[in-house]
Structure 1
Amino acid sequence: MTVLVFGGSSQIGHFLLPRLLASGEPVLALSRYPRPAQAGVSWLQGALPADVPALPPLSAIISFGPLQELADWLAQTRLTDAPRVIATSSMSAETKHDSSVPAEREISRQLRDGETALAAACARHGCAWTVLRPTLVYGAGLDKSLTPIARRALRMRLFPLPAGRGLRQPVHADDVAQIVMAVLDCPATSGRILPIGGGERLPAGEMFARVRRSLPQATVPLPLPTWLLRLGQHALPPLRGPLSRLDSDLIADNDELQRLLGIRPRPFRPEASMWVSPP
């Protein structure tokens, strides 16, 4: 049987594909754009929900893309078997639920609606499903949170350090990939939404400081005091949500993850290589 991966070129996919190949599973991976040849991986070109080529029988479907698109595709697709379905959502489904920014509340709603739609689509096929809700994911130079900050600081030789007492729990993309592999072999995770946080909770200010210390070149620290951040919330509406959460805890409870899978994600120890996109 074959494992189908949506988002194989994503940061989690970057670490998952080698793990799948090492397990001996044939791998199909879908990409919107042509991909370079990769030993053991058959790349298909297409996009959810409609533009997916014909598929062989599948043992599992793994997706790191939008949940609603996956649910829509499953609803209109005929599956010869009932493959295991594993998909990533985000802890933003919880942390942005009561945001003061309407656009962020909408993100939370879309994530929750996507989770519900996916569960319903899987039920129609008789597929066991698991949704993973990671916190801030890093580690492959492909994230849209810490990596842009690191690269901007390298260009400008200046690293803004916002004051922030709220706890953060960054999770390495390879740890999420390891969890996906474990879920494939754990029936007890079926029908569950699993929060995933990194192995360490640290204040937001310390998280940014560690990113700065990991950079391959020196940068000048630029402390941003609380009063300036409050001013920024009014002067820069697109940053209102992120700035308002600097003193809020954005964490996940890993108890269920550890009880079911016995996995403890690594602490946050960034290195310079983590801010470089893979070839």
Structure 2
Amino acid sequence: MNEQSVGLLGATSLVGQCLLRQLVHNDYRISAFSRRLFTENHPQIIWRQLDRKDYFSDPTENKTIPLWLCVAPIWILPEHFDLLLAYGARRIVVLSSTSRFTKNLSTDSNEREIAMRLIKSEERVQAWMTAHKIEWIFLRPTMIYGYGRDKNITEMMHFIRRFGFFPLLGSAQGLRQPIHAEDVATACFKALTTFSLANRSYNLGGGETLTYRAMVNRIFAVLHQPQRILTIPLWLFQSATWVIRWLPRYRHWTSAMAERMNQNLNFDCSDLQQDLNFFPKAFELTAKDLPGQE
């Protein structure tokens, strides 16, 4: 077995679960950290609950973990700086988001706040790691989807199942690059283990660029439902959003989301492809990506 140890923050997240499988497959020994209590046993995985202080109580655990992955929200990472130092972290791959670019001029104040939070978090984390001579890689995914657990494609699926249609603003020709969670995990693993690269930031998109409308059409197809698309004006979107936000599942929906349907949110990811030899798959939805019936 590979004697190398890896620390993983956000282990129970969608990308975290994908990473666990890949790390196990590659014979790594993982210290998996999460705020949630997780009791699944695996000989290569040691589970740690983040709100507990007995991280070092297990005598079988190697106290030095030089390699780390953070797929939890980047703004929680500063809470664990002491933890990383205690374990002797020397290299960290951190997941951020292209939302730092796409939401910074949003008409919604909450979205602008998210963008600023991402920007400030990247700056703070980078400054800290540089000061402590820890190598870092930032990966900024676009729209993550997969296994019915994401908050993008899955929520659109729930809406179509519930209401039988999907609303679009105008032609909805804005470009998208959805990326599957497995591909995000693969990029994280490659970034962690490509030791010739350090102190770099990459945007991370899927292997296909398509319009928002085309993306919605594919969702209808995988659900085996007729394509019922309702094109509505912005003022009606704003009113409908105010109403639907009373439902808990849709409380995060905003009219700004509709406005972005006609904005290009695709990125040049050629540097990542070249540096990591990474080529994610096209936007393909399968039965495994469907959420459970409500």
Q: Normalised by the size of structure 1, how large is the TM-score?
A: 0.89
1:221 is paired with a residue of what secondary structure?
coil
Alpha carbons of 1:76 and 1:265: their partners in 2 closer, same or farther (altered >3 Å)? closer
Matched, 1:117 2:124: yes
Q: Which runs of 4+ in 1 moved over 4 A?
A: none
Alpha carbons of 1:173 and 1:52: their partners in 2 closer, same or farther (altered >3 Å)? farther
1:189 is paired with a residue of what secondary structure?
coil
Matched, 1:233 2:233: no
Q: Which amino acid aligns with 1:222?
A: R
Gap runs ≥5 in structure 1: none
How far off is 1:51 after superposition? 5.6
Aligned-pair RMSD on alpha carbons? 2.1
For residue 75 of structure 2, the aligned residue among 68, 71, 74 is 68
Structure 2: how far apart are the matches of 1:150 and 1:72? 35
For residue 187 of structure 2, the aligned residue among 152, 164, 179 is 179
Cα deviations across residues 119-160 of structure 1 (Å, max 9, x unaligned)? 11212321100111000001122111111221332344x131
Matched, 1:253 2:268: yes
Structure 1: how far apart are the matches of 2:197 and 2:216? 33
Q: Normalised by the size of structure 2, how large is the TM-score?
A: 0.85
2:15 equivalent in structure 1:
12
Structure 2: how far apart are the matches of 1:206 and 1:187? 38
Q: Following superposition of structure 1 onto structure 2, how do residues 1-279 of structure 1 map, counting pairs within 5 Å?
A: 1-39=4-42, 40-47=44-51, 53-54=55-56, 56-74=63-81, 78-79=85-86, 81-156=88-163, 158-162=164-168, 163-215=171-223, 218-227=224-233, 229-233=234-238, 236=241, 238-276=253-291
Structure 1: how far apart are the matches of 2:16 and 2:67? 15
Give aligned pairs, total.
Answer: 271
2:66 is paired with a residue of what secondary structure?
strand
Structure 2: how far apart are the matches of 1:200 and 1:26? 34
How far off is 1:276 after superposition? 3.3
Give aligned-pair identity as a percent.
28
* Contact 2:145–2:153 (Cα < 8 Å) also in 1: yes
